[in-house]
Structure 1
Amino acid sequence: MPDRPFVLLSVAASVDGYIDDNTDQRLLLSNDEDFDRVDEVRAGVDAILVGANTIRRDNPRLLVRSDERRKHRLDGGLTESPIKVTISGSGDLEPASKFFASGDVDKVVYVPSAVAAKAIEAVGGVSTVVDAGAAVDLAFVLDDLAQRGVKRLMVEGGGTMHTQFLAAGLADEVQLVIAPFFVGDSGAPRFVGDARFPQSPSNRMSLVEVKQIGDVVLLRYLPREQANA
């Protein structure tokens, strides 16, 4: 079996740790220069994963935007953009979502057995629906993606996905961008929720890069054993 993919968590958050507010409009946490950096990271991975709630809330396209980067991928025998991946516990997915647009990019949906038929009926015509068993286990997802040729996976949210990957010890890198403002609403979505994380005061991650990008700052963290390898 191929090695599991390298998992990169990418997130932008306010100073007080929120990734969105509770309004109907999208909260812009970054700037154009950092959006371009994220686009470059996207162009260098094999798959991008978001949770189903992120699809419903933000309706992201998850495509490489730069013409030059898309051409570079095509010249290398790849699709213009990476495989799009989501996990849904309910199977409530809308085929008109931007996630399912762009026919030349594979879409993979992982669901529990109990809702597999429902998900296939909803989005089976525009994606590959994978029955992940009684519950969707992230190790199963990574093993299945490895079988599909995915070597680098970028996780772009939301907080539930970030929490699960970190708590399971399956995050190989965290790219955290801090926006220079506060949200100040305890009901708004946060970077992570409550969990028992292996990244604890006694098992600190290693900070390997700090970079100012206009009015935001990028912090890159690696598990200490990787940083010292």
Structure 2
Amino acid sequence: MADRPYTVLSCGMSLDGYLDSASGERLVLSNRADLDRVDAVRATCDAILVGAATVRNDDPRLTVRAARRRTARVARGRTPSPIKVTVTGSGDLDPRTRFFTHGGGTKLVYAASAAATACSNLHSVATVVDAGATVTMRWLSEDLHARGVRRLMVEGGGHVHTQFLTDDLADELHLVVAPFFVGDSQAVRFVADGAFPFHAGRRARLAQVRQLGDVVLLRYGLSDRFTQVEPDRDGDGGPPAESVGQ
């Protein structure tokens, strides 16, 4: 198998497993302490990936927010924020979204061949990669590795997380649980149906549990590349410190 980046899946969900509501309004699952933790993890990564639906619906910046973390990255010869990556099957992306307009640096759009021409309006703000008839996360991961990405953070949404998990491409999972229910089966779940490598007969390794205000972080090791370390909580993007949770 070709090389791929060390891949961290990061997700927040409700107590009943939903990423968002069905109302069209963005559902706030995290809190300030957890957002700072996510920022620290971002600072350790070479690239951040989200699906096109997340770009359209959430309009994320996907940048390292803390100035000290950006400064530390630059001091180590890196860009202030990681490369931004998205994937689309339709090409329906607006170049005015914050994914493209905030943070500078490289933006990569992996598009199915049929959608690549629809991305012509993105060529001034991103590199569009024709990923073939159907974009697969394995091919995308190998292409990112060839571009120098050694540590990848995947921040959703559910369809993208499902593909990484069912194709056994994730090395660790950061799952944050918010203290409320959505209670609407029309809402978006953490993952869709699929054949997952972890099931009742093969349990994922729970490496850490940490309370962050009113949410809880569950950190799972999903591959033999997983190590019992976490990003420096100071968040400067430096060497990770040993995890204190089991």
**For this structure pair, what is the TM-score category when the shorter chain's length is used for normalisation?**
over 0.9
Per-residue CA deviation, residues 5-43 of structure 1 (Å, 9 max, x unaligned), is 011000010010001112233211111011000000001
Alignment correspondent of 2:183? 184
CA distance in 1: counterparts of 2:147 and 2:58, whole angstroms: 27
* Secondary structure at the counterpart of residue 7 of structure 1: strand
Give 1:228 shift: 8.8
TM-score with structure 1 setting the length: 0.95
Alignment correspondent of 2:231? none
For 1:27-176, what aligned pairs fall within 5 Å after superposition? 27-102=27-102, 104-119=104-119, 121-176=120-175
CA contact (8 A) 2:171 2:223 kept: no
Give 1:3 shift: 2.7
Give 1:147 shift: 1.3
RMSD: 1.7
Per-residue CA deviation, residues 89-127 of structure 1 (Å, 9 max, x unaligned), is 0011110011001363100000111121221x1211100
Aligned-residue sequence identity (percent) comes to 55
Per-residue CA deviation, residues 113-162 of structure 1 (Å, 9 max, x unaligned), is 1121221x121110000001111111111111111110010000000000
Distance 1:228 1:33, change over 3 A: closer
CA distance in 1: counterparts of 2:20 and 2:85, whole angstroms: 21
Gaps of 5+ in 1: none
Give yes or no for the alignment of 1:15 onto 2:12: no
CA distance in 2: counterparts of 1:125 and 1:186, whole angstroms: 39
CA distance in 2: counterparts of 1:103 and 1:208, whole angstroms: 33
- AA paired with 1:11? C
* Secondary structure at the counterpart of residue 204 of structure 1: coil
- AA paired with 1:156? E
* Secondary structure at the counterpart of residue 192 of structure 2: coil
CA distance in 2: counterparts of 1:133 and 1:51, whole angstroms: 17
Q: How many residues align?
A: 228
Distance 1:32 1:103, change over 3 A: closer
For 1:215-226, what aligned pairs fall within 5 Å after superposition? 215-223=214-222, 225-226=224-225
